[in-house]
């Protein structure tokens, strides 16, 4: 039987808070910033007030692990799991500021209503209302007596009974006597074992946890510049979404402003692209896989720890080399030319808005291919075409949706073995044979999911091929996507609902066409028989009801690019299910034409 490597001891919350104030409990870089909403802090306090359990904390004593301020832990209790709860208590009960994921220092003030015995996030209205104690931190201030608090509250609330208020406030203060179970890990456990425990405890987010711990390994290593590298990753991800934050970095983080990373990011102050806004997990994946030729983030953690995969030993030389390689990967990722090129390649394939980016990992691997190809000196035109086609193949085959790390690892190793261009061409041919376009793709388009990769590919195809919107003479699909055009039901929704069709039937992707809102409104709930008959008349001198097309050949061409059977203009309206089958076939062939044009 294996030896138990931990102990479980209940501790009063008051003891935990004492440890926080004295520094006995410390928060290492293994954890993320405080990400709870204030309402979640309120809920935690409400649970404690009513005597409900709030889960276990996990700590570990280890003298070598660095804390958030960069100092060694020196035998302190390192909080491995439970940071959000302890930080919430620290903020609400002790009035301590917390640092948010947006790098803002904030106070989280929780109010308490003694008469109703309820908690709420403090706000201006509550602060003006004498029936609330606007910040419960004053209840837990050892310099404030309950008698003073009771008298003060009773003075502002004459209807309140002093004795009852005193009992309620005493009950509130006593929540610090509630016990929380603390699981303490054995001191001799190595960091890799602790990582494994952390990942298992957070198994619902194991992929995120791997990235978190990789970020921890980076941050705690000051010898090889890991702390600055960690900031470069965090700052880039924040700046790509909020360019105005550059000024805050410049003013508040002089050390980073003077580093080699800051000039590399100055271009972000003018960035306005939302096509690709990477997270730190995305950055690690791209930088690591492109530089190291591996796809699993657990390997990055091992390499940053100095692991020699052949001898199974840990070597300082491997740590130094790994940090240097990862730094090169991050600098390549954040390079303006590189970042502009990958987004340009995506746009050139028709993916012009963030809504058309369905798979973040497909974008990540496309970026990996671009960086590898550029480093290998592949001609720009060949490289761009290869990346476009690989990305399109990736989304059509859902290559990186199931087990992305496994797929990344297999692909990057095969690229190293077979060569970039030969391998990518072979995979594309194998994944997209003729039967894919004629059999598998039409069958796969039998869906009502607006997030379907096939629907996304169809929209990109219409953009790339310059199609006009349904029944539009001048407005393109690209114009409509950029300006929120309407998705028109070719067989109108209300018309199909009257036939008792369920949502999943009338919202089939093959029943949608992008059009101008005024055209969609004009058609309304008319049957296809009625409005196609009126379209026919419109092209033969009749009233112009739907869009500006009055030439029959032009209208037939418009129907064709929208993958709608031209015969419908002649009154040959198929049954709804037959229409869907016909249109799926046409849409699949359009996607094929698009793919061959990439």
Residue pLDDT, tens place only, 3-17:
666 778 888 989 888
Identify which has the larger pLDDT, 534 or 358. 534
pLDDT at 16: 85
Q: What is the pLDDT of residue 64?
A: 54
Range of the domain at 139: 110-166
Residue 1 lies in a domain: no
Interatomic CA distance for residues 521 and 508, integer angstroms: 20
Considering the domain boundaries, does residue 190 fall inside one? Answer: no
Residue 52 buriedness (CB in 10 A; 0-12 / 13-18 / 19+) = exposed
Mean pLDDT, range 560-584, rounded to an integer: 95
Share of the chain above pLDDT 90, in %: 60
DSSP H or E run through 381: helix 380-397
Residue closest to 584 by CA, chosen among 526, 516, 512, 514: 512
Domain boundary among the residues 408, 432, 456 is at 432
Q: What DSSP string describes 533-545?
A: HHHHHHTTT----
DSSP secondary structure, 246-298, as one string:
HHHHHHH-HHHHTSSHHHHHGGGGG----S----HHHHHHHHHHHHHS---HH
User: Within this chain, do residues 232 and 377 fall inside the same structural domain, yes or no?
Assistant: yes
Residues 420 and 535 in one domain: no
- What's the N-to-C CA distance of the chain in angstroms? 60
Please compute the mean of the pLDDT values over residues 558-564 and round it to a whole number: 96
Model pLDDT, residue 96: 83
Residue 205 confidence class, pLDDT cut points 50, 70, 90: very low
Tens digit of pLDDT for each residue in 465-479? 999 999 999 999 999
Last residue of a domain, one of 127, 155, 185: 185
Out of 179-193, 421-435, 451-465, pick the least confident. 179-193
In a domain, 328, yes or no: yes
Looking at the structure, do residues 486 and 391 belong to the same domain, yes or no? no
- Work out whether the CA dihedral 562, 565, 566, 569 comes out positive or negative: negative
* Vertex 123: Cα angle to 118 and 125 (nearest 5): 90
Average pLDDT, the chain: 88
Give the residue from 432, 463, 494 where a domain finishes.
432
The pLDDT score that the predictor gives to residue 456 is 96
HEC sequence for 233-259: HHHHHHHHHCCCHHHHHHHHCHHHHCC
Q: How large is the average pLDDT for residues 83-112?
A: 82
Q: What is the pLDDT of residue 385?
A: 97
Mean pLDDT within 492-500: 93
- Residue 68 is predicted with a pLDDT of 56
Is residue 473 located within the same domain as residue 424? no
Residues 230 and 325 in one domain: yes
- Same-domain status, 483 and 544: yes
Q: What is the model's pTM?
A: 0.76
Domain assignment of residue 414, yes or no: yes
Instruction: Kindly state whether residue 196 falls inside one of the protein's structural domains.
Output: no
Same domain? For 291 and 307 the reply is yes
pLDDT by residue (tens digit) across 53-78? 888 888 876 555 555 555 555 556 76
Work out the average pLDDT over 424-453. Answer: 96
In a domain, residue 195? The reply is: no
pLDDT value at position 101?
65
Q: What is the CATH number of the domain that holds 47?
A: 3.90.1530
Predicted pLDDT of residue 2: 53
Residue 555 exposed, middle or buried by CB count within 10 Å (0-12, 13-18, 19+): buried
Instruction: Report the candidate in 67, 71, 41, 37 with the shortest Cα–Cα distance to residue 54.
Output: 41
- pLDDT at residue 494 in the model: 93
Chain segment 261-293, per-residue pLDDT in tens: 999 999 998 887 788 999 899 999 999 999 999
Cα–Cα dist 255/262, whole Å? 10
pLDDT score of 274: 80
pLDDT computed for residue 411 by the predictor:
97
Q: Enter the tokens of residue 218.
A: 């980076």
| Statement to judge: residues 237 and 180 lie in one domain | no
What are the tokens at 194?
């602790």
Higher pLDDT, 267 or 2: 267
Q: Do 44 and 149 fall within a single domain?
A: no
Tokens at residue 453, please?
């990769």
**Spatial distance between the Cα atoms of 327 and 224, rounded to a whole number of angstroms:** 10
Domain count, the chain: 4
pLDDT at 586 (0 to 100): 97
Q: In the 8-state DSSP scheme, what is residue 30?
A: T
422 shares a domain with 465: no
**In the predicted model, what is the mean pLDDT of residues 230-253?**
87
Residues 326 and 385 in one domain: yes
- Of 193-207, 343-357, 392-406, the one with minimum mean pLDDT is 193-207
Q: pLDDT digits over 516-558, tens only?
A: 999 999 999 999 999 999 999 999 988 999 999 999 999 999 9
The Cα–Cα gap between 549 and 558 comes to 9
pLDDT given at position 27: 61
316, 321, 322, 324 alpha-carbon torsion, rounded to 10°: 130
Strand partners, 9: 182
CA distance 356 to 481: 10
My answer on whether 135 and 259 are in the same domain is no
- Residue 516 within a domain: yes
Q: CA–CA separation, 516 vs 36, rounded Å?
A: 42
Q: Is residue 90 part of a domain?
A: yes
How many secondary structure helices (H) and strands (E) does the chain include? 30, 11
pLDDT value of position 33: 60
Q: Hey, which of 75-84, 239-248, 575-584 has the most confident mean pLDDT? A: 575-584
């Amino acid at each position: 039987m294996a030896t138990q490597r931990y102990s479980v001891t209940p501790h009063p919350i008051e003891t935990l808070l004492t440890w926080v104030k004295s520094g006995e409990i410390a928060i290492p870089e293994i954890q993320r910033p405080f990400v709870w909403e204030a309402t979640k802090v309120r809920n935690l306090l409400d649970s404690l007030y009513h005597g409900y359990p709030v889960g276990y904390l996990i700590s570990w004593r280890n003298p070598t692990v660095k804390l958030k301020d960069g100092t060694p832990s020196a035998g302190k209790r390192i909080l491995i799991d439970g940071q959000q709860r302890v930080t919430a208590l620290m903020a609400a009960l002790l009035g301590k500021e917390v640092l948010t994921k947006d790098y803002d220092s904030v106070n989280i003030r929780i109010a308490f209503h003694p008469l109703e015995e309820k908690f709420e996030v403090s706000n201006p209205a509550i602060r003006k209302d004498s029936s609330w104690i606007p910040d419960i931190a004053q209840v837990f201030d050892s310099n404030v007596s309950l008698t003073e608090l009771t008298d003060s509250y009773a003075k502002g609330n004459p209807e309140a009974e002093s004795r009852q208020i005193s009992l309620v406030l005493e009950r509130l203060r006593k929540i610090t006597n509630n016990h929380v179970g603390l699981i303490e890990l054995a001191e001799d456990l190595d960091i890799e074992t602790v990582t494994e425990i952390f990942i298992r405890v957070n198994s619902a987010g194991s992929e995120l946890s791997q990235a978190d711990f990789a970020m921890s390994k980076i941050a705690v290593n000051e010898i090889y510049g890991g702390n600055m590298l960690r900031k470069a990753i965090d700052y880039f991800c924040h700046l790509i979404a909020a360019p105005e934050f550059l000024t805050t970095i410049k003013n508040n983080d002089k050390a980073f402003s003077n580093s080699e990373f800051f000039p590399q990011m100055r271009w972000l102050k003018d960035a306005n692209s939302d096509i690709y806004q990477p997270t730190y997990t995305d950055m690690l994946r791209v930088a690591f896989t492109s530089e190291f030729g591996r796809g699993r983030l657990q390997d990055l953690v091992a390499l940053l720890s100095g692991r020699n995969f052949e001898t199974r030993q840990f070597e300082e030389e491997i740590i130094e080399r790994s940090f240097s390689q990862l730094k090169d990967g991050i600098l390549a990722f954040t390079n303006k030319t590189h970042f502009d090129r990958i987004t340009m390649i995506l746009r050139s394939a028709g993916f012009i808005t963030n809504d058309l980016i369905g798979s973040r990992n497909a974008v990540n691997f496309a970026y990996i291919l671009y960086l590898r190809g550029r480093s290998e000196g592949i001609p720009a035109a060949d490289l761009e075409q290869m990346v476009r086609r690989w990305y399109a193949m990736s989304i059509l085959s859902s290559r990186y949706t199931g087990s992305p790390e496994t797929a990344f690892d297999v692909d990057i190793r095969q690229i190293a073995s077979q060569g970039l261009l030969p391998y990518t061409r072979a995979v594309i041919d194998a994944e997209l044979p003729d039967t894919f376009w004629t059999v598998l793709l039409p069958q796969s388009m039998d869906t009502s999911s607006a997030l379907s990769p096939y629907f996304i590919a169809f929209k990109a195809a219409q953009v790339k091929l310059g199609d006009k919107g349904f029944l539009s003479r001048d407005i393109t699909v690209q114009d409509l996507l950029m300006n929120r055009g309407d998705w028109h039901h070719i067989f109108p929704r209300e018309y199909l609902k009257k036939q008792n069709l369920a949502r999943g039937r009338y919202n089939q992707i093959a029943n949608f066409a992008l059009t101008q809102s005024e055209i969609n409104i004009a058609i309304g709930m008319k049957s296809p028989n009625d409005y196609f008959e009126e379209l026919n008349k419109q092209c033969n001198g009749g009233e112009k009801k739907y869009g500006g097309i009055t030439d029959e050949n032009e209208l037939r061409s418009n129907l064709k690019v929208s993958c709608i059977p031209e015969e419908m203009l002649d009154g040959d309206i198929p049954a709804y299910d037959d229409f869907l089958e016909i249109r799926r076939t046409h849409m699949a062939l359009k996607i094929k034409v698009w793919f061959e044009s990439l």
